[in-house]
Amino acid sequence: MSLEQYKDVWAYCVREGDSLTRPSLEILAAARKVADKIGQKAVAVILGYGLDRVVENAIAHGADAVVYADEPWLEKYQCLPYTRVLCEMAEKMKPYAFLFVADELGRDLSPRVAYRLNTGLATDNIDLAVEDYYFGPTNTTYRNILAQIRPDFATRVAKIYTPRHRPQMASIRPGNFEPLRRDPSRRGELIRFRPTPVEEDFKVKILEEAIQRKSQIDLEGADIIISLGMGILRDGEGNPRNPREAFTLVSEILELIRRNYGLKGEIGATRALIYSELKELEGLITSERQVGQTGRTVAPQIYIAVGISGAVQHKVGMIKSKKIVAINSDRDAPIFELAHYAIKDDLYKVLPRLRSLLAGG
Ligand SMILES: Cc1cc2nc3c(=O)[nH]c(=O)nc-3n(C[C@H](O)[C@H](O)[C@H](O)COP(=O)(O)OP(=O)(O)OC[C@H]3O[C@@H](n4cnc5c(N)ncnc54)[C@H](O)[C@@H]3O)c2cc1C
């Protein structure tokens, strides 16, 4: 079968009540974007039990079709039966691309599916595009290939292509696509798949379920985030400072902003600061506050980067913020390349001044 015969962009979507989880709606929007570029269908792929309303909602949120399996033995997620069913679906219907959310479940499922389908998997993407790809050694140009865009391991953003394999598989980090507005008048095709359970897939027994405590630190729900980086360890003259001082200043600034403007604020941090495990910041700067490639992706109204250099791994977690303010004493710090407002000065001068302005001083 030639590669051109692989059609449509699939998004593996996870049910939440009668609809889909927000990250699933995001990757459905990503599938829609790619499908529109290549003139094909965006397809939601859903496994579970009692899915009548769920599949309708997937259509309302932008899917042209839903491929689904609605079986009692698929009610709860289990990686082996889910992997088998998704592979059977893909082998039968031959999608051009297959997208997953880069979360715990997606990280468990997508590599298994990719391996069994004998294709590649680009993980943790922040965007997708469709491009022609030239492969020098065979002097071949592959048309309309999925460009999978993600931070590389150093300082840049990489594009990954898998031109000779199908489906082209990618996982996408939450927070990078806006879900499409629900439109109940949309119509689409429902394709029910009827898989047969295979006994050897049920080696794992679910004995108990526990609800995981949600993080108290609501970075995603904040209107304004002030993030702290390694710059808080020294002042502009290079003298060591107690980093607790910067944490307190920023807490007070956020409290004044809440009082003055009604904006909800949170404190974020770079991985470098979190990994430093400073005793002065024990219990205050924890991994739940990490913004970036291996942390959380945020898009607040205002993001203030304090003493942060602007490494690509940090940037990809905050670049979608509506307004970015950077405070850094190094005039050439990379963070200034994306800042809407650049304050090129010592944070230990700027933060007290900001606090006193907000306090009316
Ligand atoms: C695989 C991988 C994943 C990663 N994931 C993440 C991630 O999710 N999130 C993340 O943040 N990082 C991540 N990193 C780390 C990342 O590469 C950077 O090392 C990190 O973001 C740097 O943190 P920083 O900006 O706090 O520190 P630095 O790079 O040390 O920058 C400190 C900045 O403070 C400024 N400064 C110093 N003193 C002052 C002062 N008094 N006033 C004002 N400015 C001052 C300096 O000019 C400098 O620009 C990852 C790295 C790898 C390899």
Q: Tell me if 69 is assigned to some domain.
A: yes
Q: What is the pLDDT of residues 309-332, one digit of tens each?
A: 999 999 989 998 999 999 999 999
12 Cα: distance to centroid of ligand 1 (angstroms): 34
Q: What is the pLDDT of residues 2-51, one digit of tens each?
A: 888 999 999 999 999 999 999 999 999 999 999 999 999 999 999 999 99
For residue 209, the model assigns a pLDDT of 87
State the residue range of the domain holding 325: 224-358
Same domain flag for 94 and 147: yes
Same domain flag for 185 and 274: no
Determine how β-strand 302-306 pairs with β-strand 265-269. Answer: unpaired
104 burial level (CB within 10 Å; 0-12, 13-18, 19+): exposed
| Mean pLDDT in residue range 60-82 | 97
Same domain flag for 164 and 250: no
Q: Tell me if 207 is assigned to some domain.
A: no
Distance CA 227, CA 166 (A): 41
Which DSSP state fits 240?
Answer: B
Nearest CA to ligand 1 atom 9: 292
Q: What is the pLDDT of residues 117-141, one digit of tens each?
A: 999 999 999 999 999 999 999 999 9
Q: Tell me if 60 is assigned to some domain.
A: yes
Same domain flag for 50 and 135: yes
140 Cα: distance to centroid of ligand 1 (angstroms): 41
Q: Tell me if 123 is assigned to some domain.
A: yes
Same domain flag for 152 and 189: yes
**Helix ranges restricted to H, 41-153:** 52-60, 79-93, 104-116
230 Cα: distance to centroid of ligand 1 (angstroms): 6
Q: Quick check: 211 pLDDT over 90? A: no
288 Cα: distance to centroid of ligand 1 (angstroms): 17
Question: What is the tally of structural domains in the chain?
Answer: 2
Q: How confident is the model at residue 153 (pLDDT cuts 50, 70, 90)?
A: low
Nearest CA to ligand 1 atom 47: 330
For residue 49, the model assigns a pLDDT of 98
For residue 154, the model assigns a pLDDT of 59
For residue 206, the model assigns a pLDDT of 86
Q: Tell me if 299 is assigned to some domain.
A: yes
Same domain flag for 67 and 28: yes
Q: Tell me if 213 is assigned to some domain.
A: no
Q: What is the pLDDT of residues 262-271, one digit of tens each?
A: 999 999 999 9
For residue 146, the model assigns a pLDDT of 97
Same domain flag for 280 and 197: no
| Mean pLDDT in residue range 73-84 | 96
Ramachandran area for residue 324 (φ above 0: left; ψ -120 to 50: alpha; else beta):
beta
Determine how β-strand 341-343 pairs with β-strand 42-48. Answer: unpaired
Same domain flag for 52 and 166: yes
Nearest CA to ligand 1 atom 40: 346
Residues with a CB atom less than 6 Å from ligand 1: 153, 229-231, 234-236, 270-273, 290, 292-295, 307-309, 311, 313-314, 317, 327-330, 333, 346-348
207 Cα: distance to centroid of ligand 1 (angstroms): 43
Q: What is the pLDDT of residues 161-208, one digit of tens each?
A: 999 999 999 999 988 899 999 999 999 999 999 999 999 999 888 899
Same domain flag for 160 and 308: no
Q: Which of 290, 314, 315 to mutate to test the pocket of ligand 1 (most atoms within 8 A of CB)?
A: 314
99 Cα: distance to centroid of ligand 1 (angstroms): 31
CATH of the domain at 187: 3.40.50.620
286 Cα: distance to centroid of ligand 1 (angstroms): 15
**Residue 190 — φ and ψ, nearest 5°?**
-110, 120
For residue 361, the model assigns a pLDDT of 63
CATH of the domain at 328: 3.40.50.1220
Average pLDDT, whole number, for the chain?
Answer: 95
Tokens representing 127 are 């965007």
Which DSSP state fits 174?
Answer: T
Q: Tell me if 210 is assigned to some domain.
A: no
Q: Tell me if 215 is assigned to some domain.
A: no
Same domain flag for 60 and 148: yes
Residue with tokens 């904006």: 263
Q: Which of 247, 275, 308 to mutate to test the pocket of ligand 1 (most atoms within 8 A of CB)?
A: 308
Same domain flag for 132 and 58: yes
